[in-house]
Chain A
Amino acid sequence: MTAVLPPVDAVVDAPITTPVMEAIDVVKDFPVTGGLFGRAIGQVHAVSGVSLHVNRSETLGIVGESGCGKSTFGRVMLRLITATSGTVKLGGRDTAEMPNKELRRRAQMVFQDPYASLNPRMTIGEVLAEPFLVHQGKKAKEVTDEVSALLTTVGLSAEHRSRYPHEFSGGQRQRIGIARALAVDPEVIVLDEPVSALDVSIQAGVVNLLEKLQDERGIAYLFIAHDLSVVRHISDRVAVMYLGKVVEIGTRNQIYDHARHPYTNALLSAVPIPDPAKEKSRRRIVLTGEVPSPIDPPSGCRFRTRCWKATDECAASEPPLVDVAGDGHSFACFHPE
């Protein structure tokens, strides 16, 4: 009997760099409580076995509609929520064995609403000094230069130090949120809908800032958003989530120009394009029905209840997420486009 060896090329092409951050079969269930004693009567399967990675200097976009589990996944990655099962690795090491302080120094988060994530009673200078006090044991007086440098880096001015969060506009607050994440010089930043609360003219500036910071510092971004246009602009690779699972993942062009999963195609066809001629001539895939409950997801492929290509096979077994062509483009579908 001869063992089947992988072709030599495949071995050579295998990535030799360790991903900055990696999720391996991450699962997060939330208990649903009810009844007299508030016992668990069910589970919300928010994230159901997600595996992906992000490299240095790379942006991985995670898109999906409300309830697909993208935000929960982002929080699980940073251990803001504990995973039910699965592993999250940071620089090749399991974060479950990492002290909180180390994890927070190496991986940071930027939230959608910067106002809610900034303490209204602290000046911006105090907010930005805090990471240095916590992680480097310095005194507030010793870090004024660092704080000024951070403010300049994100396009604000050092004079803004003594102001309070309410004195800033939405775009400026998001820049402060980014500055705070940068303070510890992290390897990876999880950004959860970082620009969706901003007007488009302001949003563009924040997106450009994120791109510039990545070029300069090689930070990896996990960019979670529902806006497919922004994600196309900022991402190197994109993962599409539906009901707790990644249904398709690939490079930006693979996803946007050569999508194989029916859900990805439906999603892309629904995004309005600011061009009347294109809008009128487009064929829109209209999905019927509603997103099923994550408490009791459909058997087999979770998208099958709304899919126009679904067959008995789709209900009987779950399509695995596979890279068919070996080009890094994986999709979970028995009947790809």
Chain B
Amino acid sequence: MPPLLQIEDLHVGFSTEDGVVQAVRGVDIAVEEGDVLAIVGESGSGKSVTALSVLGLHPKGRTTISGRVMWGDEDLVTASDERLRRVRGAEIAMIFQDPLSALNPVYTVGRQIMEMVRAHGDVSKSAAKERAIEMLGLVGIPQPRKRVDNYPHEFSGGMRQRAMIAMALSCDPKLVIADEPTTALDVTVQAQVLELLVDVTNRQGAAVMLITHDLGVVAGMANKVAVMYAGKVVEQAAAVDMFDEPSHPYTIGLLRSLPRVDADGDAQLIPIGGQPPSMLNPPAGCAFHPRCPIALREAGCDTVIPTLYHTPSELASGEVVDDPIHQHGAACWRRDEVAELLGTVRG
């Protein structure tokens, strides 16, 4: 079965006064039914830009996009505005980081959900309101019949994000893209909202593309993960495999620099040296090479762009697969030396 969503060789550039920012530089990602796929990376890695490209949410005019975003048989990159409007919300829904700026402050929460429901179906006002109440109840908002007439400012941060999830799922989308959905929330609320997101999307049979910088969130929620650095996917794997055997020096660097609440505080944090590159002029070869502890000129790290390699790999179920989507890939010329580097994480 073909994947639900397949992003192929996506490139996104933004024209600025200083030149073209090459935010995404050839990304391949596939989301299948039932997946919770996490895209992890730090600021400027291109993870959000990738997600926004799926729904054509970039400013026209100064954005250049190439590659394909296959949604079933159609390419969303070349789809008409009219078609994209139909897809947004009804087939692919989006949840943003800051619900307060994503909600309109002068309309009630209920009205905004109703608007979404009615935009995508021939639904009466009263039926749309019932749907809004049902959805608010589903995401755990107490007294939904009463709260449906509240304004966004009358909701707490966690409740607003619940309302956003309710809205996103109100038209039964097949895919939900959540861009840092809990970054603005307190940790106890974050736990509730993430649990809810996975639970509700599961129940409705929607796949999730989760954009996050938090490896803890990835571990708890995702079954697959793509690690991005400087506009490219540098490692892609089943989530369990990535934590078990991180295979790109950048992924290893992230794990080594991360303080852990379950670790003895005396463990040493090892930062990744240097600074993230400017995407106006990203480094040649592997973009991580200036910061990589095992980069080697002879291996071609600073001249040739490495690709995600693929070898048949065994899934947790014991099944052996030989297609790229299900493999553990790392774009690194020095993958034989990575194991050694990994030893330093495990200590």
Q: CB within 8 Å of B: which residues of A?
A: 65-66, 169, 171-172, 199-205, 207-208, 226-230, 232-235, 252, 256, 266-280, 284, 286-287, 290
Contacts and interface: CB of A to CB of B under 8 A. Distances in A.
Nearest to A171: B275
Interface of B: 42-43, 156-159, 186-188, 190-192, 195, 213-220, 239-240, 243, 253-263, 265, 267, 269-272, 275-276
A269 B156 CA distance: 22
B317 to A, nearest CB: 15
Main secondary structure of the interface of A (DSSP, over half): helix
Given A199-B213, A201-B253, A271 B187 contact: yes
Contacts of A278: 219, 262
Nearest to B270: A204
Contact of A201 (B42, B188, B217, B265): B42
A307 B260 CA distance: 26
B258 A274 contact: yes
Given A171-B275, A266-B188, A272 B217 contact: yes
Interface centre among A268, A276, A277 (most CB of B within 10 A): A276
A284 B191 contact: yes
Contact of A279 (B186, B219, B275): B219
Contacts of B217: 272
A199 B220 contact: no
A274 B240 contact: no
A137 B271 CA distance: 38
A252 B267 CA distance: 13
Which 10 interchain pairs have the tightest Cβ spacing?
Answer: A272-B216, A205-B271, A204-B257, A204-B271, A201-B272, A233-B259, A199-B42, A65-B186, A274-B215, A204-B269
A169 B291 CA distance: 16
A65 B219 contact: no
A169 B274 CA distance: 11
B192 A256 contact: no
Contact of A200 (B213, B218, B267): B213
B262 A275 contact: yes
Nearest to A209: B271
B191 A286 contact: yes
A290 to B, nearest CB: 5
Nearest to B250: A201
A304 B189 CA distance: 17
A204 B257 CA distance: 5
Contacts of B275: 169, 171-172, 202
A273 B260 contact: yes
A14 B214 CA distance: 43
Contacts of B215: 200, 274
B186 A233 contact: no
A226 B187 contact: yes
Given A171-B275, A207-B269, A276-B240, A268 B192 contact: no
Contacts of A268: 261
B259 A232 contact: yes
